[in-house]
Amino acid sequence: MITLYTKDYCPYCHEAKNLLDSLQLEYKEIEISDKPEVFAEIKEKSGMNTVPQIFFNDRCLGGFSELDTLNKQGLLLDALK
């Protein structure tokens, strides 16, 4: 399962959702604009201070730039296995 942690005002979050939608990949979006405790939790798991944060199962794939790079290199679907 892909989990996407987002904030409503974040343009990169919208880009990540658009990319996943264009690939017809299902994901669960967790909006954390008003949930600092959730953001603190995922920052600890990922080591990242930015959003979106994209996880596959319990593994952090990174943010939008990492997702986009994996897609452009043709490696995204392999990363989701």
CA angle 10-22-45, nearest 5°? 50
Over range 62-78, report the average pLDDT: 96
Q: Is the pLDDT of residue 81 over 90?
A: no
> How do the domains of the chain map onto residue ranges?
2-79
- Mean pLDDT estimate for the chain: 96
Over range 46-56, report the average pLDDT: 97
pTM: 0.92
Torsion of CA 29, 32, 33, 35, to 10 degrees: 150
Q: Is the pLDDT of residue 33 over 90?
A: yes
The CATH architecture assigned to 2-79 reads: 3-Layer(aba) Sandwich (3.40)
